[in-house]
């Protein structure tokens, strides 16, 4: 059996970084794993960044994806939050880069468009459609669903650009 292309989707955040792993076999997508890496708000920022970096590195070592998609973060109304989110995202991208993964970036709009067909879809719709597209018996949690949606978005974008 030819193994499919394994895609890791990342939904970055300082408190919680969601991850989702899927496999693309031709036009079919298969669920592999999902979950999240949490950092402890009682720790210093460098310690939290270290936790996120190691967590994402561990996900890569465990599931050995071929490519990665990461959600582009939006600029928050609160500049401090933007700064914290940026740092979490930088750590996650660094982990993907160290794992030698090609990394593609997608906006929340592109991701929602890819899974729900509507760029302004609600979180619940994303969770519902991710479960349907990956034939899951129950809906994944919001963080994991967003990461899986990002992986699905990458699988679709790849299909557009390659001659599969």
The 75-94 contact track toward a copy of itself, x by CB under 8 A, reads xx--xx-xxxxxxxxxxxxx
Of residues 30-49, those binding a copy of itself (CB under 8 A): 44-47, 49
| Residue 3 buriedness (CB in 10 A; 0-12 / 13-18 / 19+) | exposed
Q: How far is CA 78 from CA 83, 84, 85, 92, in A?
A: 9, 10, 11, 21
Element (H, E) at 152: helix 142-161
| Closer residue to a copy of itself, CB minimum distance, 96 or 121 | 96
Contact string (CB under 8 A) for a copy of itself, positions 97-136, x = contact: xx----x-x-------------------------------
Task: Indicate if 66 belongs to the active site.
Answer: no
Burial (CB count <10 Å: 0-12, 13-18, 19+), residue 5: middle
Name the residues annotated as catalytic. Answer: 11, 71, 143
Q: Which residues bind a copy of itself (CB under 8 A)?
A: 44-47, 49-50, 52-54, 70, 73, 75-76, 79-80, 82-98, 103, 105
């Amino acid at each position: 059996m030819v193994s499919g292309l394994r895609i890791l989707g990342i939904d970055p955040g300082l408190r919680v970084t969601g991850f989702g792993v899927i496999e693309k076999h031709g036009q079919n997508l298969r669920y592999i794993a999902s979950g999240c890496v949490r950092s402890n708000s009682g720790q210093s920022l460098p310690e939290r960044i270290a936790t996120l970096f190691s967590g994402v590195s561990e996900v890569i070592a465990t599931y050995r994806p071929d490519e990665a998609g990461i959600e582009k973060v939006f600029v928050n109304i609160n500049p401090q939050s933007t700064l914290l989110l940026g740092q979490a995202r930088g750590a996650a991208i660094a982990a993907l880069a160290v794992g030698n993964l090609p990394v593609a970036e997608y906006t929340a709009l592109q991701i929602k468009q890819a899974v729900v067909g509507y760029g302004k879809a609600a979180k619940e719709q994303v969770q519902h459609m991710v479960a349907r597209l990956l034939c899951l018996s129950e809906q994944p949690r919001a963080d994991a669903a967003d990461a899986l949606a990002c992986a699905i978005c990458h699988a679709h974008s790849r299909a557009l650009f390659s001659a599969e």
